[in-house]
């Protein structure tokens, strides 16, 4: 793998980590969105990562192949003062695992930072290689 390859691999990791952070942000922003019990709740989003490159070859990075949606069943909660409450005072809330999302956010942030460091090191190595001939 060339230095340019290392930069590309790190760049794909940064992009994947950013998508992961974005989906977590959306999940956390919608974690308390109540809807009527007759409707589906917000579906938690989870990015699916796949390696890029030919099978059996040296990896060429990672890509977000899709974003999976969780269940819209959610959880029934008693909120009689909500304008969305049914006759029994219930609403449907998303089944977003807030603690799990926050743990994922730490992992995504670490992945972003690690790929940024790797990209910068590859860039420094490439710049050093350019100065060898002068």
pLDDT digits (tens, 9 = 90+) for 28-61: 999 999 999 999 999 999 999 999 987 777 778 9
Q: Which conformational region is residue 61 in: left (phi greater than 0), alpha (psi within -120 to 50 degrees), or beta?
A: left
Looking at every residue in the chain, the average pLDDT score rounds to: 92
Facing residues of 62 across strands?
Answer: 51
Q: Which two tokens stand for residue 57?
A: 């070859």
The fraction of the chain above a pLDDT of 70, given in percent, is: 96
Instruction: For residue 3, name the pLDDT band (cuts at 50, 70, 90).
Output: low
For tokens 């760049």, the residue is: 11
Q: What SS3 class is residue 7?
A: helix
Instruction: For residue 62, name the pLDDT band (cuts at 50, 70, 90).
Output: very high
Cα–Cα–Cα angle for 94, 99, 104, nearest 5°? 100
**Cβ atoms of 45 and 100 closer than 8 Å:** no
Please say if the pLDDT value at position 4 is more than 70: no
């Amino acid at each position: 793998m060339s230095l340019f390859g290392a930069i590309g691999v790190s760049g794909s990791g940064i992009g994947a980590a950013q998508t992961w952070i974005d989906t977590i942000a959306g999940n956390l922003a919608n974690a308390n969105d109540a809807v009527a019990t007759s409707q589906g709740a917000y579906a938690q989003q989870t990015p699916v990562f796949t390696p890029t490159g030919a099978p059996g070859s040296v990896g060429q990075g990672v890509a977000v192949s899709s974003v999976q949606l969780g269940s819209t069943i959610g959880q029934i909660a008693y909120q009689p003062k909500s304008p969305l409450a049914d006759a029994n005072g219930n609403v449907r809330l998303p089944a977003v695992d807030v603690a799990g999302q926050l743990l994922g956010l730490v992992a995504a942030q670490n992945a972003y930072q690690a790929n940024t460091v790797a990209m910068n090191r590859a860039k420094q190595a490439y710049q050093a290689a350019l100065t060898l001939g002068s």
